[in-house]
Amino acid sequence: MGFLKGSKFIFLILYVDDIVLATNDICILHETKKFLSKNFEMKDLGDASFVLGIQIYRDRSRGILGLSQRSYIDKVLKRFSMHECKFGDTPVAKGDKFSFHQCPKGNLEIEEMKKIPYASAVGSLMYAQVCTRPDISYIVGVLGRYLSNPGMDHWKATKKVMRYLKRTRGYMLTYRRSD
């Protein structure tokens, strides 16, 4: 999204009954808050620090904004009993191959895989990937192809991504002010 140099803007992000405002002009922020409070019952909670499971870090003096899902990742690891797993080096290794040949074929294999929360785990990884962790986008996209009939190799790869996230859960998506 491009803006003309010197142009003023405000973003109003609405989720159910929460609003987050972001602007490059403090006067627009105050005008918008005044308008909203005049027309709606609202409470100003000040600077946002946690929104939809995303921790917001600011260093205004250096022009840095960071978004972290560390606590979300910790919850995901615990939910899938991976909170005590070993750290992983990478989300996917060179040479890892995935195909539909790895999907279960017989009823016994299919029934075994039904006990594994594959779709839920991949969905949890997708939320992290979309919000703050583009570093897992490739493998999460690959694993998403097998949601309807995952095999044990796909589940092992999902757990490999979780081990990587355990090691890197402190990573954050960082934006820096620029001209």
Cβ of 125: how many Cβ atoms within 10 Å? 25
Position 85 pLDDT exceeds 80: yes
Tens digit of each residue's pLDDT (9 = 90 or more) over 88-147: 999 999 999 999 999 999 999 999 999 999 999 999 999 999 999 999 999 999 999 999
The arithmetic mean of pLDDT across residues 39-62, rounded, is 90
Domain assignments of the chain as residue spans, ordered by start: 1-46, 70-168
pLDDT, position 149: 94
- Of the two residues 23 and 68, the one the predictor is more confident about is 68
Confidence (pTM):
0.83
Position 36 pLDDT exceeds 70: yes
Q: Are 173 and 134 in contact (CB under 8 A)?
A: yes
pLDDT, position 56: 94
pLDDT, position 15: 86
- Geometric angle at alpha carbon 90, from 88 and 93, rounded to 5°: 120
Tens digit of each residue's pLDDT (9 = 90 or more) over 24-33: 899 999 999 9
* 1-10, 45-54, 88-97: the lowest-pLDDT one: 1-10
Position 12 pLDDT exceeds 80: yes
Selection from 144, 123, 134 nearest residue 76 by Cα:
123
Q: Are 154 and 146 in contact (CB under 8 A)?
A: yes
